[in-house]
Chain A
Amino acid sequence: MYEFFFILIPRHFPFLLEGAVVTLQLTLTSMVCGICIGLAVAIGRIGSKAPLKWLLAAYVEIWRDVPLIVQLLVIYFSLPTVGISLPAFWAGVLGLSLNLGAYLSEVFRSTILSIDPGQREAGESTGMSRLLVYRRVVLPQALRIAVPTVGGYFVSLLKDSSLVSFVSINELLRNGTIVISNTFRTMEIYLMVAIIYFALSFTASRAVLWIERALTPRYLRRNWEPSLSPKTSEVPA
């Protein structure tokens, strides 16, 4: 016990934290890319015609039907053979975000379709373009509905990013195995890794809850009273 807290932790924790920073960078970058891909694919599948529509559907299907670790390995080892050499970190981001994008596109597709089409018609009947209707009417509502689910995917991604240790990215888990191969303190180091993952994920899921609350419109909150709403002069843009 003494050894764990006063020798092993001080000696190896900083190196593990370096890995945790990479884990966070990987997760956040992949999350942003994944959301963009998911949104684009969802809108494409709803709004486009035959050939593109099938292509997007095929992407979603294929990426959801192959294990993530296999996707990562294929991307990491096959890209160089077709002449594309990506740094390991970006190969990892590519793999994670393509995978996440496939799942998120279905989340966004369902929340977009859950918005009453009458509201789109109301927008279009006053001369708004389709793009403007998406931006001002559909997406603000659809994205808010998607927040809890997308947040769940974020926490999953944080943990799934450990899979990229297989393609030699020095993130949290891989740094852990490096320490183990030098020290043979398997149990203690994996325990530290587990604690760090828990701390990250727990913080992330709290943050998601907070964002969800912050984005809940005033009229859906408990104890809401119209008199508490802003003066008309302060209506936000």
Chain B
Amino acid sequence: MNTPLLEIRNLKKSFGSLEVLKGIDLTVDVGEVIFLIGPSGGGKSTFARCINFLEKPTCGDVIFSGQVMCQDRNGGHYKAPEKLVRLARGDMPMVFQHFNLFAHRTALENVIEAPIWVQGRNRSEAIEDALRLLGEVGLRDKADYYPAQLSGGQKQRVAIARALAMHPKLILFDEPTSALDPELVAGILETIRSLADKGMTLIVVTHEMGFARKLADTVHFFSDGRILESGPPDRIFDHPETDRLSEFIRSILR
């Protein structure tokens, strides 16, 4: 059996006395498309942020691509050195709800920033690569535009190109369409689908249930800091086992 790309055991996260994640276990194989769904405040975004270490897990194990990022050992919580964490982060960039493009840099400059400064790639190579990626997301002609001149959907596609430019092993999406006008959502979903089709490993936090149903290999239902149910989309959406999930599905179908 192959080792999974990402392995998470008993991950907990507290903010002060508030425990947001109460012990999450999850494994992701290479090429797998994982969807995290559930009510707001259930902890799914915090969980995604813990994977990328934007939030430091309070305890639990995160093993990414064979590299231990943090682990409970001998009664303590081991954290990998900064440098290793940074290296791993570049392999699993995140696409954010509010795009978070660098406002003072053009679309192209946004995309080449990390490849040049983090991965030390040659500038002209990085530009060539970035223009190809901008082309793939349909924005080749907007390369010299600043974020302020792009629509929400265009910004999000630049953000996706920025993540792809790292040649990552995994991309995290944190509600990538929640800040978009309804008519722009389809374009972003289409872009994400094409990534999945190419075999990219994806973890997607979303409220787009129809999309999750079509694209997911596995859906995890988060509620109150735990994963209440996991399974293939058909099972999750058509045959929920817990009351909480069936209630959730009813409420979003209404």
Chain A positions near chain B (C-beta within 8 angstroms)? 116, 118-119, 121-129, 132, 136-137, 140-141, 144, 217-220, 226, 229-233, 235, 237
Contacts and interface: CB of A to CB of B under 8 A. Distances in A.
A127 B54 contact: no
Contacts of A229: 106, 144-145
A118 B114 contact: no
Interface stretch (B13-21, B62-70, B91-99, B182-190): B91-99
Interface residues on B, range: 35 or more
Interface stretch (B4-12, B33-41, B82-90, B209-217): B82-90
B146 interface: yes
Contacts of B117: 128, 132, 136
Given A125-B89, A126-B166, A127-B86, A235 B102 contact: no
A226 B54 contact: no
Contacts of B88: 127
Nearest to B159: A122
Given A126-B118, A140-B104, A118 B96 contact: yes
A129 B93 CA distance: 14
A137 B102 contact: yes
Nearest to B166: A126
A154 to B, nearest CB: 23
B100 A141 contact: no
B108 A232 contact: yes
A118 B145 CA distance: 20
Interface string B139-161: 00001111011000000000100
Shortest 8 CB-CB contacts between residues of A and residues of B: A127-B90, A118-B100, A122-B100, A126-B114, A219-B146, A127-B89, A125-B94, A127-B86
B52 interface: yes
Contact of A141 (B94, B103, B131): B103
A226 B159 CA distance: 20
B109 interface: yes
A232 B162 contact: no
Contact of A124 (B89, B102, B146, B159): B89
Interface string B160-189: 001100100000100000000000000000
Contacts, number: 95
A235 B104 contact: no
B202 interface: no
Contacts of A220: 148
B57 to A, nearest CB: 15
A136 B103 CA distance: 11
B137 interface: no
B100 A121 contact: yes
Given A217-B146, A229-B145, 17 more contacts: A119-B101, A121-B54, A121-B94, A121-B96, A121-B100, A122-B100, A124-B89, A127-B89, A127-B166, A128-B118, A141-B103, A141-B104, A218-B146, A219-B145, A226-B144, A229-B106, A232-B131
A233 B106 CA distance: 13
A200 B89 CA distance: 51
Nearest to A129: B86
A230 B109 CA distance: 12
A232 B144 CA distance: 7
B127 to A, nearest CB: 7
B113 interface: yes
Contacts of A128: 86, 114, 117-118
A232 B127 contact: yes
A232 B126 CA distance: 12
Contacts of B127: 232-233, 235
Nearest to B118: A127
B204 to A, nearest CB: 15
B157 to A, nearest CB: 15
A237 B109 CA distance: 9
